[in-house]
Chains A and B, each alone.
Chain A
Amino acid sequence: KNEVEQSPQNLTAQEGEFITINCSYSVGISALHWLQQHPGGGIVSLFMLSSGKKKHGRLIATINIQEKHSSLHITASHPRDSAVYICAVLQGGADGLTFGKGTHLIIQP
């Protein structure tokens, strides 16, 4: 069973700061997802990674398969980035995702 750990659990930063959220998992995976949930909102898939790095706008996601670690970076953070960011992994042979507990991010103006 895969254990997915996210850090930090809570993060408050000022607008414009560079944000990093980390995710570690214990067992080899076939894919890793970064998801976003705004307060009262649904879950949105930001990235799915199996290797390397992906970029979308101000968001960058990286994964190191050997170290079983992924990071989500937000450049030039903005208050609208305030949300819960969730890391979820798909283990080879498994059907469903295993989720981390999420990181509560607040960006203050």
Chain B
Amino acid sequence: EAGVTQFPSHSVIEKGQTVTLRCDPISGHDNLYWYRRVMGKEIKFLLHFVKESKQDESGMPNNRFLAERTGGTYSTLKVQPAELEDSGVYFCASSPTSVTADTQYFGPGTRLTVL
């Protein structure tokens, strides 16, 4: 069974540009989570999808971030326009059931560098 995959693995962009990160959860997993680790800080929750619906987006830093999960399969996280403080590693995780207290399977992360 394939794990959670993320694309790209690295992205280097200039301030003001747009970047779209993609996450493919494990097939059949309804729950999809986005997390971010900014340099030197702990990983922080961004948002949670159940199928195609945003269950909780309380961790999204501001309206420059837009997450979608059309069709309830893969998800995208768009940053527009990117700022220097957006640099970090963005992790995606998925879990199989509608019970939120379940093992989360993490993707390898996308390292975003904004110059």
Give A contacts to B, CB under 8 Å.
4, 30-31, 33, 35, 41-45, 48, 50, 86, 88, 90, 94-102
Given contacts A90-B100, A90-B101, A95-B56, contact A42 B46 (CB under 8 A): no
Least distance between A24 CB and chain B CB atoms (Å): 14
Given contacts A30-B101, A31-B101, A43-B91, contact A98 B45 (CB under 8 A): yes
Chain B 42-53: CB-based contact to A (< 8 A → 1; otherwise 0): 111111100000
Within 8 A of A (CB), among B48-95: 48, 55-56, 58-59, 91, 93
Contacting residues, chain A, for B96 (C-beta < 8 A): none
Task: Name 7 A/B residue pairs within 8 A (Cβ), A-sorted.
Answer: A42-B107, A43-B109, A90-B101, A94-B56, A94-B100, A95-B45, A96-B33
Q: Does A95 contact B42, Cβ atoms closer than 8 Å?
A: no
Contacting residues, chain A, for B109 (C-beta < 8 A): 42-43
Given contacts A101-B42, A102-B42, contact A96 B108 (CB under 8 A): no
Q: Does B106 contact A95, Cβ atoms closer than 8 Å?
A: no
Residue of B nearest to A35 (CB): B106
What is the CA–CA distance of A39 and B101 in the complex, to the nearest angstrom?
A: 27
Least distance between B98 CB and chain A CB atoms (Å): 12
Contacting residues, chain B, for A90 (C-beta < 8 A): 100-101
What is the CA–CA distance of A101 and B42 in the complex, to the nearest angstrom?
A: 5
